[in-house]
Structure 1
Amino acid sequence: MRIAVPAALALAADPLASLVDTAFVGRLGSMEIAAVGVSIAIFNQVSKVCIYPLVSVTTSFVAEEDAIISKGVEEEKSEDLEKASSADNDMNELPSFSDSERTSCGNAFYLATECVNVSRYGCKRKYIPSVSSALIVGGVLGLLQAIFLICAAKLVLNIMGVKHGSPMLTPALRYLTLRSLGAPAVLLSLAMQGVFRGFKDTKTPLYATVAGDVTNIILDPILMFVFHLGISGAAIAHVFSQYLITTILLCRLVRQVDVVPPSIKALKFSRFLRCGFLLLARVIAVTFCVTLAASLAARDGPIIMAAFQICLQLWLATSLLADGLAVAGQAILASAFARKDYHKAVTATSRVLQLSVVLGIALTVLLGVGMQFGSGIFTKDANVMKIIHRAIPFVAGTQSINSLAFVFDGVNFGASDYTFSAYSMVAVAVVSIPSLIFLSSHLGFMGIWISLTIYMSLRTIASTWRMGAARGPWSFLRR
């Protein structure tokens, strides 16, 4: 819980700040909130393609490498100091891994010699390869994302259903272009959050995120209404807050670890990218379903899109609280599997799954009541509010399913089960995408939410089967 609670608060802070953005933009009118909704859906889709693999592998790899380094230091202080030191210097790897395991992306086996030596001689900072790799990859991907979105904003909006002549086009284009300037900061900050989570330190990312989001909330009304910048002010406030978060995290990180690699070879990019590409396939399948849902809602006009945007933000903001448990489970499991402590792995997995069910039930009650009486916070349009109320059974009722799905993701990543995570999610998308298209065309707005419920249910079922069948990294359960 010491890991999960700050992680949950940090993860919830950004969607909650987006909810505040939505509330402020909603004062400008339904057209503006619909335009911002489409732009956010595009930005999130492109960002998650980069962010999710980057953060997920960083958390697991840092946790594994930190555990191995700590284990090496402990062994060197034991009575078998000479033997342990010789093994470290000659092999620079854990001797318990087989040759087949060394070719997989799931195991931390190669570590720079500098890691153990730095710890042995008592230096305050240590070098961990995945930290430097994450920062480099995050910075490069952030720049590429910003260039892509700025240059192709109109094309992407057109694909999303905002055609030439649509009243949403101009405000959506303005918001998306400005917000894209913050892409490098977004990816760098989230890469560093993955690093701190690997160290089981979720308080530092929480403090940085809260500082940035509070700044965003303060700047929103000032830029939007005092300086009359409208939705451009909302985008500028968000960009400024992201660079503030990045600056805070970087200052803290360089005090804790050495981020400059001793050589290019020490970065171990191959394993990092191999696992990242597996998760890239997974995240494309995950986010495509949600982005397709937003696109289908946008084609039905600004009223439907405005209602969908508010419901989606509530759905994601509350569901992401479960990611706090997922982060805790992932960090603990990655360390446990690196040390081959299977008893700890089973205990941690059982606990996070139990807590996810409790959290899901609490969120269902909270959302069911909150959406019924509090939808007026986000819009004063009676037509939009009426549509929001129709979605309450789905937005609130799926919280237990969502919580389990998110927590299972953390469990799978902690066990380095990336291959199954990728393939199973592609299979889920193959079923969910046709259901979205078919049900939305026949049932409209309600059909979209029925399809999203099917999508989350299939995610949960796939992970439940994997563990229940004791396959992959869970094969030890048969013994």
Structure 2
Amino acid sequence: MPQAPAPPRSGRRHDREILSLALPAFGALVAEPLFLLTDSAIVGHLGTAHLAGLGVAAAVLATAVNVFVFLAYATTAAVARRVGAGDLPAAIRQGMDGIWLALLLGAVTAAAALPAAPWLVGLFGTSPTAAPHAVTYLRVSALGIPAMLVVLAATGVLRGLQDTRTPLRIAVAGFGANAVLNVLLVYGAGLGIAGSAWGTVIAQCAMATAYLVVVVRGARRHGASLRPDAAGIRACARAGAPLLVRTLSLRAVLLIATGVATRLGDAEVAAHQIVLTLWTLMAFALDAIAIAGQAIIGRMLGAGDGTEARSVCRRMVGWGVVSGMLLGLLVVVARPLLLPLFSTDASVHRLLLPALVVAAVFQPVAGVVFVLDGVLMGAGDGPYLAWAMLATLAVFAPVALAVPALGGGLTALWWVMGLMMAVRLLTLGLRTASGRWLVTGAVRG
């Protein structure tokens, strides 16, 4: 027998909670790419070779850090469950296990990146003039990887504790510090591109310290141990492994799409990069709702309230549809203003317009996909998310690779990107409708 719809008052209450978590989360998400934007603006005045080197090094660094985004996602879900169960000491203890895992992974990644920097830069076919700058930036920045991963894990802890305002404040402060340090070290101290890297490392370390101060205070207040627990760290790693598979599969989709665009031609790959940049920017807004979903769903399932979890899931799906429609409409209406911002090439504009419309059309689908992704992450349904993304990759890869062979262009490629989102909607929608994710309790069995 179908459940009666939630009363309007319950819906408004859910809306307030979703917004209270999503809006600060969106601000923190937007602050993250501003680090690279600041670095690019400051380093760009050093010369073209310096900026090219920064671009290569930043791509390597972003990949090395972003594959571990599960440190935030898995920690959010696990901490939120224990919050819902009313066990704050266990919630913070769970968060500390995630932070210790982040330190371990960060140390290993940094140790590997330092000697491998020249080889990693060489993989991109970097020019001889840009390569030394890329190696310098990557080697210095690698020292900050442990701090960057701690920031991810600690952000997950606070989200799980239903706090997205503190991450926003720390992110804004970190961005400001990064900007000031870059100017002082690049020009004031005359360190060049190395100064830009050191500015980012110092800012990231300061952010990690601020997070640790907040978490440690919470641990002492609730009597939670701060010592590393081998069993807890292993449990965090096991919970995060499926989300790592999911993230790598999604990265593979994006790399394949860029590779196909490259085979289509220079104008095509330039237009593709612009559409992908706008797609990513819209994803920040939609991901903010997903982050709210992770925190709220995890807490409700931890409290044993599967009925309310399903209710808030429906509400967030509505938010995802409406947000996606608004974003898509905004892109279509603003496209005459957007094109000159990115390129003055008429051939790029010609390719960009239809591809941008396709990307806009699929924004409502993307809105639902992001929400359901967050709901299932909050439920700790990582293994299913891994298999679903692998299935999506298996469908996407052969179709995308066939685009050049069949004479398709950039618009065809973006229709395939839309197909990818449709497959994700199908797999995530079926799982959500099945109710198998509604596993209650402080720990998902």
TM-score interval w.r.t. the shorter chain? 0.7 to 0.9
CA–CA distance in 2 between the matches of 1:233 and 1:380?
33
- Alpha-carbon contact 1:428-1:458 (below 8 Å) kept: yes
Give structure 2 stretches of 5+ with no counterpart. Answer: 1-18, 441-445
Specify the code of the residue in structure 2 equivalent to 1:10: A
Query: 1:11 deviation in Å?
Result: 1.5
- Structure 2 length normalisation: TM-score? 0.80
1:94 corresponding residue in structure 2: none
The yes-or-no answer on 1:460 pairing with 2:425 is yes
2:71 corresponding residue in structure 1: 54
CA–CA distance in 1 between the matches of 2:266 and 2:130?
8
CA–CA distance in 1 between the matches of 2:36 and 2:363?
19
Classify the secondary structure of the residue corresponding to 1:280: helix
Aligned-pair identity (%): 30
Q: In the TM superposition, what are the counterparts of 1:74-93 in structure 2 within 5 Å?
A: none
1:271 corresponding residue in structure 2: 235
CA–CA distance in 2 between the matches of 1:34 and 1:305?
17
Query: 1:265 deviation in Å?
Result: 5.2
CA–CA distance in 1 between the matches of 2:284 and 2:217?
30
Specify the code of the residue in structure 1 equivalent to 2:66: K
Query: 1:444 deviation in Å?
Result: 6.0
1:88 corresponding residue in structure 2: none
Classify the secondary structure of the residue corresponding to 2:213: helix
Query: 1:305 deviation in Å?
Result: 5.9
1:67 corresponding residue in structure 2: 84
Which of 2, 10, 28 does residue 10 from structure 1 map onto?
A: 28
Range 245-254 or range 364-373, more displaced: 364-373
Give structure 1 stretches of 5+ with no counterpart. Answer: 72-114, 116-125
1:359 corresponding residue in structure 2: 323
The yes-or-no answer on 1:426 pairing with 2:390 is yes
Question: CA offsets, 1:269-316, max 9 Å, x none?
Answer: 343222111222212111222234445556788876665555433321
The yes-or-no answer on 1:240 pairing with 2:202 is yes
Question: CA offsets, 1:84-117, max 9 Å, x none?
Answer: xxxxxxxxxxxxxxxxxxxxxxxxxxxxxxx4xx
Classify the secondary structure of the residue corresponding to 2:364: helix
Which of 355, 358, 363 does residue 399 from structure 1 map onto?
A: 363
1:186 corresponding residue in structure 2: 148
Q: How many residues align?
A: 419
1:250 corresponding residue in structure 2: 212
Specify the code of the residue in structure 2 equivalent to 1:472: R
Residues 43, 399 of structure 1: CA spacing in aligned structure 2 closer, same or farther, 3 A cutoff? Answer: farther
1:285 corresponding residue in structure 2: 249
Residues 235, 264 of structure 1: CA spacing in aligned structure 2 closer, same or farther, 3 A cutoff? Answer: closer
Classify the secondary structure of the residue corresponding to 2:85: helix
Query: 1:177 deviation in Å?
Result: 3.4
CA–CA distance in 2 between the matches of 1:260 and 1:380?
58
Residues 203, 314 of structure 1: CA spacing in aligned structure 2 closer, same or farther, 3 A cutoff? Answer: same
The yes-or-no answer on 1:416 pairing with 2:380 is yes
Query: 1:156 deviation in Å?
Result: 3.5
Q: In the TM superposition, what are the counterparts of 1:237-386 in structure 2 within 5 Å?
A: 237-258=199-220, 261=225, 268-294=232-258, 308-377=272-341
- Alpha-carbon contact 1:30-1:381 (below 8 Å) kept: no
CA–CA distance in 2 between the matches of 1:19 and 1:370?
22
CA–CA distance in 2 between the matches of 1:385 and 1:32?
28
- Alpha-carbon contact 1:23-1:378 (below 8 Å) kept: no
CA–CA distance in 2 between the matches of 1:299 and 1:32?
27
Classify the secondary structure of the residue corresponding to 1:340: coil
Query: 1:206 deviation in Å?
Result: 0.5
Q: In the TM superposition, what are the counterparts of 1:190-201 in structure 2 within 5 Å?
A: 190-201=152-163
Query: 1:398 deviation in Å?
Result: 3.4
- Alpha-carbon contact 1:281-1:422 (below 8 Å) kept: yes
- Structure 1 length normalisation: TM-score? 0.75
User: RMSD between aligned alpha carbons?
Assistant: 3.6
- Alpha-carbon contact 1:323-1:407 (below 8 Å) kept: yes
Residues 223, 394 of structure 1: CA spacing in aligned structure 2 closer, same or farther, 3 A cutoff? Answer: farther
